[in-house]
Amino acid sequence: MNPLIYGLIASIFTSIMVVGNVEKFSVRYPVEAKSLFKLKRHLDNVEYGQLKIGSFSFKNNTVDGFEVVLASMNGSELKPTDYSDGSGGIPYSVSLTPLTSVLDASVQQNLSPNLSIPGYPVQVIYLIDLPNQSSYGQYDIVVNIGDETQTTMDLAGNYEDTLELIYRDI
Work out the widest C-alpha separation in the chain, in whole angstroms.
Answer: 119
Q: Which helix (H) or strand (E) holds 13?
A: helix 3-19
- The answer, yes or no, to whether residue 7 has pLDDT greater than 60, is no
Round to whole Å and give the CA distance between 87 and 51: 23
Residue among 43, 160, 50 nearest 97 (CA):
50
90-145 confidence digits (pLDDT tens): 899 999 999 999 999 999 999 999 999 999 999 999 999 999 999 999 999 999 98
Give the model's confidence band at 3: pLDDT under 50 very low, under 70 low, under 90 confident, else very high.
Answer: low
55, β-bridge pairs: 40, 140
Residues 132, 33: Cα–Cα separation, whole Å: 14
CA-CA distance, 151 to 154, in Å (whole number)? 5
Q: What is the reported pTM?
A: 0.78
Distance in angstroms (rounded) separating the CA atoms of residues 76 and 89: 10
Sheet containing 49-60: order of strands: 35-41, 49-60, 135-145, 93-102
Q: Side-chain half-sphere of 168: how many Cα atoms within 13 Å?
A: 15
At 166 the pLDDT is: 96
138-160 mean pLDDT: 79
Helices (H), 2-124: 3-19
